[in-house]
């Protein structure tokens, strides 16, 4: 009867090994994605180094679904820069162009006014009531690079959340069932 147990053992151990292999390769994919993201954060100095444009306010330069790469540097912000800013209490970052800068003489604090290229008026209507200027702590980064259309993937996925789970499920299934 010994050979039956042996065979059974060898079969289960192979399957177990294969299963482990699949989980490890799945883990590798997830961790390498994380590593790439974290490296991007280090290089750019931004909390979120990539943003997807979701409005048409910068048309025809940037359209919905385009991707911008951000960079944070010590260089002061000047008129013409395209900045990503976050108004206190609102969580959707906005990508607009700086049209006015006032830099204080003694403190070197900068007061910044922005406007979307495609908007008829400046952004004061979008700031909090009574807020006239953006300051350094509102600014998340400066746009330095541009990649068209790629952001549509995330826009579609946030619009139709079911799609996200289907995609993640399908990818997971694919990795787990792949034969070596």
Partner 1 sequence: MHSFGYRANALLTFSITILALMCAMASVSDNFNTPTTSAQVQVLNINWFQKQPNGNDEVSMTLNISADLQSLFTWNTKQVFVFLAAEYETPKNSLNQISLWDGIIPTKEHAKFWIHTSNKYRFIDQGSNLRGKEYNLTMHWHVMPKTGKMSADKIVMPGYRLPVEYR
**How far apart are alpha carbons 90 and 56 in whole angstroms?**
19
Note whether 60 binds partner 1 by CB under 8 A. Answer: yes
Q: Does residue 88 carry a catalytic annotation?
A: no
**In this complex, which beta carbon is closest to partner 1, that of residue 2 or of residue 130?**
130
- Virtual CA dihedral for 27, 29, 30, 33, nearest 10 degrees? 150
Note whether 162 binds partner 1 by CB under 8 A. Answer: no
Note whether 157 binds partner 1 by CB under 8 A. Answer: no
Among 80, 129, 130, 161, binds partner 1 (CB under 8 A): 80
Nearest of 83, 86, 87, 85 to residue 99 by alpha carbon: 83
Residue of 44, 66, 96, 138 with catalytic role:
96
Q: Does residue 123 carry a catalytic annotation?
A: yes
What is the Cα 89 distance to its own chain's centre?
20
Q: Does residue 57 carry a catalytic annotation?
A: yes
Let me know: does 71 contact 168? Beta carbons within 8 Å: no
Among 87, 101, 157, 175, binds partner 1 (CB under 8 A): 101
Nearest of 67, 109, 112, 116 to residue 95 by alpha carbon: 116
Q: Which residues bind partner 1 (CB under 8 A)?
A: 60-62, 78-82, 97, 99-105, 108, 117, 122, 143-148, 174, 178
């Amino acid at each position: 009867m010994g050979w039956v147990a042996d065979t059974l053992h060898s079969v289960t151990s192979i399957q177990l090994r294969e299963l482990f292999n699949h989980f490890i390769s799945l883990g590798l994919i997830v961790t390498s994605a994380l590593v790439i993201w974290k490296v991007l954060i280090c290089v750019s100095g931004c909390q979120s180094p990539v943003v997807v444009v979701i409005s048409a306010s910068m048309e025809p330069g940037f359209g919905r679904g385009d991707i911008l790469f951000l960079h944070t540097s010590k260089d002061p912000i000047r008129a013409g820069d395209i900045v990503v800013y976050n108004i206190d209490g609102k969580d959707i970052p906005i990508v607009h162009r700086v049209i006015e800068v006032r830099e204080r003489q003694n403190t070197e604090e900068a007061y910044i006014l922005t406007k979307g290229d495609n908007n008829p008026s400046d952004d004061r209507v979008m700031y909090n009531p009574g807020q006239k200027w953006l300051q350094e702590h509102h600014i998340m980064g400066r746009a330095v690079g541009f990649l068209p259309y790629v952001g549509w993937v995330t826009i579609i996925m946030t619009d139709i959340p079911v799609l996200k789970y289907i995609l993640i499920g399908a990818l997971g299934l694919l990795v787990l069932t792949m034969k070596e």
